[in-house]
Amino acid sequence: MQKRKIGHTGVEVPVVMLGGNVFDWTVDEADSFRLLDAAFDAGLSFIDTADVYSKWIPGHVGGESETVLGKWFARSGKRDKVFIATKVGMDMGDGRQGLAPKYIAEAVEASLRRLQTDRIDLYQSHKDDDKTPLVDTLSAFDRLIEQGKVRFIGASNYAGARLREALETSKRNNLASYQTLQPHYNLVERENYETDLAPVVADYGLGVIPYFALAGGFLTGKYRSDADVKGKPRGGMAGKYLNARGFAVLEALDAVAREYKSTPASVALAWLIAQPGITAPIASATSEKQLGDLVAAAELKLDRAAIERLSAASAPVSA
């Protein structure tokens, strides 16, 4: 499987990252273990989760995904062969949120316990916290790296200006610096990343691991009408793309998939992998078939004509 270095870390990771948000949400624990075994055997050893997954489910409190992963590490003995990324900062209830140093110190211990590990490979700010000075947040992360509890840090859901400010803050104060960015970026969500974030990524050499790489399943081609999205866990997200531009993207995906004897999902991920600065798109799987699409995407190399066809069909409306 293709690999790329992530940011300036020198660490090589697979070019597709397995999303862990589905574990103990749309996939139960037993099926999560089965999918994790299959993913690892296929070379998908780069996994993303967050402390807040899956707090949005009635009866859940957050940490469910990390807990499943921790049990799988204990069961499989594969912790040292997996690059695990998790996140901190989203609302966990009872005032537990943000990027203040005291909270980060508490949250990392909770994640370490749930993951049943002594270190997190990539610890990410899940969103910006404008109530906490950047120097305080980055100092807290720096201490975790010194303590060996975290190897590298990354950012998610930052605006370009704040991301640049954070990177300059690290430089001025000789603190650990964000090595990765996790933005919302895919064939139907391009404008914000390409106009606001990509210039910062290029200037600082960050690794980029886009989330919602398949637009909530829309780019798999399984949602093509209102009836398809009704009552589905992610139907609301996919449904907003049921418009002329979305259908044009699906048409281009179908055509390229036929040409390459592939699937729309694999082609959509391969387009992302081919974009400048992208390390690995994040995509989850709830079945072996979906997992196969992720593995296939990691080996699929689109030619320039195919990339340009997809880019033209998905060009932002304001472009």
* Residues annotated as catalytic (active site), given as ranges: 53
Is the Cα torsion angle 54, 58, 59, 61 positive or negative in sign? positive
What does the alpha-carbon distance between residue 146 and residue 138 come to, in Å, rounded to a whole number? 12
> 């009704």: which residue's tokens?
230
| Amino acid in position 170 | S
What does the alpha-carbon distance between residue 295 and residue 15 come to, in Å, rounded to a whole number? 9
Compute the chain's Rg from CA coordinates: 19
- The DSSP secondary structure of 13-71, one letter per residue, reads EESSEEE-TTBTTTB-HHHHHHHHHHHHHTT--EEE--TTTTTTSTT--S-HHHHHHHH
Residue 39: count of CB within 10 angstroms of its CB: 22
Helix (H) or strand (E) holding 182: strand 178-182
Helix (H) or strand (E) holding 208: strand 207-208
12-14 and 3-5 strand pairing: antiparallel
- The DSSP secondary structure of 112-143, one letter per residue, reads HHHHT-S-EEEEEESS--TTS-HHHHHHHHHH
E strands present in 209-304: 282-283
